[in-house]
Amino acid sequence: MPQMEYLVLAEYIRQDAGVTHIMAVGIDTFTIPADRLPARVGLSALARVSFDLTDQTGVEHDVSLIFRGAEGVELLRLTQRIPTPPPQPGVPRHWRTGAHLIFRFALPIPSHGNDYRLEVIMDDDPRLSRSLDVRAVAPDGGA
């Protein structure tokens, strides 16, 4: 069965020749002056999904990135389809095959507060999801 291993926010993410490069990772708080709200913040998200040998190669999965505000109101949704990758040759049978999923987007921030949540979910299965709490604060640190 696939596993959603982790989700991180970063300023910049790029894949090159099988390597993922990340800059300014671990973002969860945005300092935005009140007179600049609503705002859009350019970001990238990286999620890692892994598969085992029982997962059939080529089966497609829907992966969604969902950003919600207060009371679960959906502010952004991005969706992509990914196929189950083939196992890497020459690795032990217990070895999981990983795939990095990169999303680039402008995160909509309508107001200050701690009520934002970013989630990546595969096949609408809560067991195959990871989420992050996100907040927006004024320069003085207040909400």
**Distance between CA atoms of 88 and 96, rounded to whole angstroms?**
9
Cis bond upstream, residue 33 (ω within 30): no
**Distance between CA atoms of 127 and 86, rounded to whole angstroms?**
22
CATH classification (class only), 3-137: mainly beta
pLDDT at 102: 95
pTM over 0.85: yes
Q: Which residue has the tokens 């390597």?
A: 19
Rounded to a whole number of angstroms, the distance between the first and last alpha carbons of the chain is: 41
Task: Calculate the alpha carbon distances from 74 to 70, 117, 118, 138 in Å.
Answer: 9, 10, 10, 23
β-pairing verdict for 129-137 and 29-31: parallel
User: pLDDT tens digits for 37-55?
Assistant: 999 999 999 999 999 988 9
Could you count the other beta carbons within 10 Å of the beta carbon of residue 135?
15
Task: Calculate the alpha carbon distances from 115 to 13, 72, 76, 94 in Å.
Answer: 25, 9, 14, 40
User: pLDDT tens digits for 59-71?
Assistant: 999 999 999 998 8
